[in-house]
């Protein structure tokens, strides 16, 4: 294929994929199958990989994710992102209407659903998405462009080449939230309390791959500078956003008086649970934009808009019992067993009680009535007791003193809220450890879920982690519902897990305080489990982001003879003990130094330059400080260059950078 044909085909593919994205994610009216869409995307990725000079900012391949930042840069909003004042009753809404009518005698309102997510600002230049930022304090937010690019309902290129700022709400649909929490629960990770927290946590990830996996969405709700475009009303501005290709909420309504507004509030108070996303209220705005300007703003909020907040839904039920779960670290978590009760469309029978202090401070008693609500509309929580006439006759809570699984005495360390079972042979801990070891972020043994782990332990087939690698087909054939195919698949998955890179094994071992990120840092630094096992405290804390608590925990783990014996068994059984990820090559010009990139580089993109530096042992940060060693200045370098000069920091132009890289260029090539 000739170069011009390649360029033409890439443009055709981009146009088709962007159109299909719009039909699927904005209109919810797909016109092609998933297979056809995937084939087009595959072709585009292949062409752009082969001809990177033709990859543009509006390419849908930018949505895949993979950019990793070391920190968020600050963004000053061109127009402040003010918060709204709240209304909690019909009376509050009538008072708002009265205040508006003192200035605007016959106001028309636009009512919208208040999406429970994270407010963001998007900046477009000549129709191309350039930057996205969080609301922050209203004046200054954080640059989250790398994560917003992964949201497929957000257009990378508008239908008209306009330069505008728009505002909207990033949210996580209910189905995506429930799936995310199911996955986290299966992997023994902490659950998100509600979709808003999940969306906010996803948007503020430094690694955009995480955001790309979270199935975020976005509704646009404001065009701040609409009057300058000749648009006279807020409702017309929303229609204009639709025309540009944005996704706006279809349930908005123009209301000509306060009674229509109140009808809208009553309707959606009843219908809110029918939506596929969470709303925590409604927003009422004066429609006429000149009237908005006339009404003005306070220091915190506009006078032409108000947010009506739904009242919290709480129900009362009976606390039948308190039971205790044992985690893989031995932490004991009390759970409330409730008389089944309906709340927000679901039946609730269990709720967490966190720890002893939580129960005692609220004086929660078995047999009494308790108030239950869904935290953030999703997670059931006990708010507190109902102190009725029989309340004082009920026994106060007494924390158990022995492990419910093995009978060992519990301990509570000074400064900690949790009680722990310290018996390393506690059956509950061992099952939880096995589940964790097999989970997706750890050894990723497909088909080895919670029930099978518990069954293997109960049957005596697996008493410690190394026993997994001794399982035979005959062992598994003794288990109920295990047929030849499922036995074969599980044994293949177990065998395959032996080849995992070191960081997965490290995380799977369940060393206290060593999560996924710390496991990767340790694996990259020490390259082998033997090297890590011999590391001193000083060796460990020299690693950025490895502090005192993790260092002490790692040293304690390897001091225990049973842990060293387990690792030797795993090694003898063929489990890989080496880091198999991307290697870091130590280069004198880069190793141990902190770099800042500024301006435009012609030889490669910013993230590619960052990858080169990190693979050669350097670190890239986004701001210049006294800790910066080198600033690499490309074309049109700005304030970062000036600050570096003022601080006397070493500065490389692009030519110098390329010269220093030359001996190692093969290290940074894409795979």
d(Cα 340, Cα 347) in Å, to the nearest integer? 6
d(Cα 187, Cα 332) in Å, to the nearest integer? 18
d(Cα 321, Cα 337) in Å, to the nearest integer? 5
Asked if the model's pLDDT at residue 103 lies above 80, the reply is: yes
Higher per-residue confidence, 326 vs 207: 326
Q: What are the distances in angstroms from CA 187 to CA 197, 441, 453, 563?
A: 19, 7, 13, 22
Hey, which bits of 93-145 come out as E strands? 109-115, 118-125, 128-134, 140-142
Give percent of the chain above pLDDT 70. 94
Q: Which residue has the tokens 């060593």?
A: 514
User: Which of these, 111, 80, 107, lies nearest to 292 by C-alpha position?
Assistant: 107
Query: Is residue 456 within 8 Å of residue 462, measured between CB atoms?
Result: yes
Pairing between strand 594-598 and 619-621?
Answer: parallel
Please provide the DSSP assignment of 317-332 as one string.
EEEEEEEEEE-TT-EE
Query: Is residue 87 within 8 Å of residue 309, measured between CB atoms?
Result: yes
Tens of pLDDT, residues 17-59: 888 888 877 776 778 777 788 788 888 888 888 888 888 888 8
**What is the pLDDT confidence band of residue 197, given thresholds at 50, 70 and 90?**
confident
d(Cα 269, Cα 257) in Å, to the nearest integer? 19
Higher per-residue confidence, 48 vs 71: 48
d(Cα 338, Cα 382) in Å, to the nearest integer? 10
Tens of pLDDT, residues 400-420: 999 999 999 999 988 888 999
CA 658 from centroid of its chain's CA atoms: 36
d(Cα 81, Cα 11) in Å, to the nearest integer? 36
Residue 251's φ and ψ, nearest 5 degrees, are: -90, 20
Lowest mean pLDDT among 231-240, 327-336, 599-608: 599-608
Q: Is 114 a catalytic residue?
A: yes
Mean pLDDT of 56-71: 71
d(Cα 626, Cα 128) in Å, to the nearest integer? 35
Asked if the model's pLDDT at residue 242 lies above 80, the reply is: yes
Name, of 36-40, 337-341, 626-630, 643-647, the range with top average pLDDT: 337-341
Longest dimension (CA), the chain: 87
Neighbours of 664 (CB within 10 A): 15
Query: Is residue 401 within 8 Å of residue 383, measured between CB atoms?
Result: no
Name, of 377-381, 425-429, 580-584, the range with top average pLDDT: 425-429
d(Cα 554, Cα 377) in Å, to the nearest integer? 39
Mean pLDDT of 428-436: 94
Orientation angle between helical segments 174-186 and 195-203, nearest 10 degrees: 80
Asked if the model's pLDDT at residue 226 lies above 50, the reply is: yes
**What is the pLDDT confidence band of residue 376, given thresholds at 50, 70 and 90?**
very low
Q: Which residues 6+ apart lie within 8 Å of 589 measured at CB?
A: 616, 660
**What is the pLDDT confidence band of residue 162, given thresholds at 50, 70 and 90?**
very high
At residue 183, the pLDDT reads 83
At residue 547, the pLDDT reads 85
Q: What are the distances in angstroms from CA 165 to CA 123, 160, 249, 292, 516?
A: 5, 14, 18, 18, 37
With H, G, I as helix, E, B as strand and everything else as coil, classify residue 243: helix
Cite the DSSP H helix spans in 274-344. Answer: 289-295
CA 230 from centroid of its chain's CA atoms: 39
Name, of 93-97, 326-330, 448-452, the range with top average pLDDT: 93-97
Report the chain's C-alpha Rg in angstroms: 29
Lowest mean pLDDT among 141-150, 496-505, 608-617: 608-617
Asked if the model's pLDDT at residue 271 lies above 70, the reply is: yes
Please provide the DSSP assignment of 166-227 as one string.
EEEEEE--HHHHHHHHHHHHHTT-PPPSSHHHHHHHHHT-SBHHHHHHTT-EEEEEE-TTGG
CA 280 from centroid of its chain's CA atoms: 20
Q: Which residue has the tokens 């990820």?
A: 581
At residue 65, the pLDDT reads 60
Asked if the model's pLDDT at residue 501 lies above 70, the reply is: yes
At residue 583, the pLDDT reads 61
Q: What are the distances in angstroms from CA 226 to CA 201, 236, 238, 283, 417?
A: 31, 9, 10, 19, 53
At residue 230, the pLDDT reads 93
At residue 227, the pLDDT reads 92
At residue 39, the pLDDT reads 84
pTM of the model: 0.52
Q: What are the distances in angstroms from CA 41 to CA 8, 25, 44, 56, 128?
A: 15, 16, 5, 15, 20
d(Cα 505, Cα 520) in Å, to the nearest integer? 10
Asked if the model's pLDDT at residue 346 lies above 90, the reply is: no
Asked if the model's pLDDT at residue 68 lies above 60, the reply is: no
Tens of pLDDT, residues 444-494: 998 898 899 999 999 999 999 999 999 999 999 988 888 898 899 999 999
Containing 242, the helix (H) or strand (E) segment is helix 234-244
Q: Which residue has the tokens 């690693």?
A: 543
Mean pLDDT of 521-525: 89
Mean pLDDT of 527-531: 94
**What is the pLDDT confidence band of residue 377, given thresholds at 50, 70 and 90?**
very low
Asked if the model's pLDDT at residue 375 lies above 70, the reply is: no
Asked if the model's pLDDT at residue 631 lies above 50, the reply is: yes
Mean pLDDT of 279-299: 92
Residue 192's φ and ψ, nearest 5 degrees, are: -75, 140
Question: How many residues are there in the chain?
Answer: 671
Which residues, listed in sequence order, are joined to residue 335 by a DSSP beta bridge? 323, 352
Name, of 298-312, 492-506, 647-661, the range with top average pLDDT: 492-506
Considering the chain, what is the average pLDDT of its residues? 88
The catalytically annotated residue of 14, 114, 247, 374 is 114
At residue 61, the pLDDT reads 82
d(Cα 89, Cα 364) in Å, to the nearest integer? 31
The encoded tokens of residue 493 equal: 């998955």
d(Cα 653, Cα 105) in Å, to the nearest integer? 63
Neighbours of 362 (CB within 10 A): 16
At residue 348, the pLDDT reads 86
d(Cα 438, Cα 663) in Å, to the nearest integer? 42
Asked if the model's pLDDT at residue 67 lies above 80, the reply is: no
Please provide the DSSP assignment of 416-454 as one string.
-S-EEE--TT-HHHHHHHHHHHHSTTTT--TT--HHHHH
Lowest mean pLDDT among 203-217, 252-266, 371-385, 410-424: 371-385
With H, G, I as helix, E, B as strand and everything else as coil, classify residue 279: strand
Asked if the model's pLDDT at residue 667 lies above 50, the reply is: no
Residue 164's φ and ψ, nearest 5 degrees, are: -145, 160
């Amino acid at each position: 294929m000739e170069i011009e044909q390649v360029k033409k085909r890439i443009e055709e593919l981009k146009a088709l994929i962007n159109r299909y994205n719009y039909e699927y994610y904005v209109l919810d009216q797909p016109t092609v199958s998933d297979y056809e869409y995937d084939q087009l995307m595959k072709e585009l990725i292949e062409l752009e990989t082969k001809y990177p000079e033709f990859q543009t900012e509006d390419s849908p391949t930018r949505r895949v994710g993979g950019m990793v930042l070391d920190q968020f840069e600050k963004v000053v909003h061109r127009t402040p992102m003010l918060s709204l004042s709240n209304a909690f009753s019909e009376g509050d809404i009538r008072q708002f209407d009265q205040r508006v009518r003192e200035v605007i005698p016959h106001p028309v309102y636009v009512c919208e659903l208040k999406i429970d997510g994270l407010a963001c600002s998007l900046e477009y230049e000549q129709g191309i998405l350039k930057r996205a930022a969080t609301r922050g304090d209203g004046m200054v937010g954080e640059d989250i462009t790398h994560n917003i690019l992964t949201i497929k309902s957000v257009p990378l290129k508008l239908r008209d080449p306009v330069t505008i700022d728009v505002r909207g709400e990033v949210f996580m649909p209910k189905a995506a939230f429930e799936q995310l929490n199911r996955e986290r629960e299966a992997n023994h990770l902490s659950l998100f309390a509600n979709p808003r927290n999940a969306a906010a946590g996803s948007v503020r990830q430094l690694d955009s791959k995480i955001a790309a996996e979270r199935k975020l969405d976005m509704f646009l709700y404001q065009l701040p500078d609409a009057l300058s475009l000749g648009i006279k009303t807020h409702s017309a501005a929303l229609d204009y956003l639709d025309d540009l290709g944005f996704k706006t909420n279809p349930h908005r309504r123009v209301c000509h008086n306060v009674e229509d507004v109140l009808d809208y509030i009553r309707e959606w108070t009843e219908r809110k649970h029918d939506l596929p996303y969470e709303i925590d209220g409604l927003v009422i705005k004066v429609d006429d934009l000149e009237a908005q300007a006339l009404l003005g703003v306070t220091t915190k909020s506009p006078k032409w808009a108000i947010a009506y907040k739904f009242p919290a839904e709480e129900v009362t039920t009976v606390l039948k019992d308190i039971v205790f779960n044992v985690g893989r670290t031995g932490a004991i978590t009390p759970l409330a067993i409730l008389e089944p009760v309906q709340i927000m469309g679901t039946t609730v029978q269990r709720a967490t009680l966190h720890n002893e202090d939580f129960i005692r401070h609220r004086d929660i008693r078995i047999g009494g009535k308790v108030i239950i609500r869904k935290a953030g509309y999703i997670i059931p929580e006990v708010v507190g007791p109902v102190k009725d006439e029989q309340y004082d006759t009920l026994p106060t809570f007494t924390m158990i003193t022995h492990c419910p699984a093995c009978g060992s005495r519990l301990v509570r360390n000074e400064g900690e809220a949790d009680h722990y079972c310290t018996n390393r042979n506690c059956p509950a801990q061992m099952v939880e450890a096995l589940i964790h070891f097999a989970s997706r972020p750890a050894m990723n043994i497909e088909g080895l879920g919670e029930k099978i782990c518990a069954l293997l332990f109960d049957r005596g087939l697996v008493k410690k982690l190394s026993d997994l690698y001794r399982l035979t087909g005959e062992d598994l054939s003794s288990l109920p519902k295990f047929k030849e195919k499922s036995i074969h698949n599980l044994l293949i998955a177990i065998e395959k897990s032996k080849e995992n890179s070191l960081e997965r094994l490290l995380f799977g071992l369940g060393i206290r305080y060593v999560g996924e990120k710390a496991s990767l840092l340790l694996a990259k630094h020490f390259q082998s489990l033997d090297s890590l096992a011999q590391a001193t405290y000083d060796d460990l804390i020299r690693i950025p982001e490895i502090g005192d608590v993790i260092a002490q925990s790692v040293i304690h783990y390897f001091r225990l003879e049973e842990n060293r014996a387990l690792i030797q068994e795993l090694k003898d059984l063929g489990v890989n003990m080496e880091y198999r990820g991307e290697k870091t090559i130590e280069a004198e010009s880069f190793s141990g130094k902190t770099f800042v990139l500024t301006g435009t580089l012609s030889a490669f993109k910013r993230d590619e330059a960052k990858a080169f530096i990190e693979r050669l042992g350097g670190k890239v940060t986004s701001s210049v400080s006294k800790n910066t060693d080198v600033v690499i200045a490309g074309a049109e370098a700005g304030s970062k260059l000036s600050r570096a000069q003022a601080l006397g920091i070493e500065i490389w132009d692009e030519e110098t950078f390329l010269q220093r890289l030359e001996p190692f260029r093969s290290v940074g090539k894409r795979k």
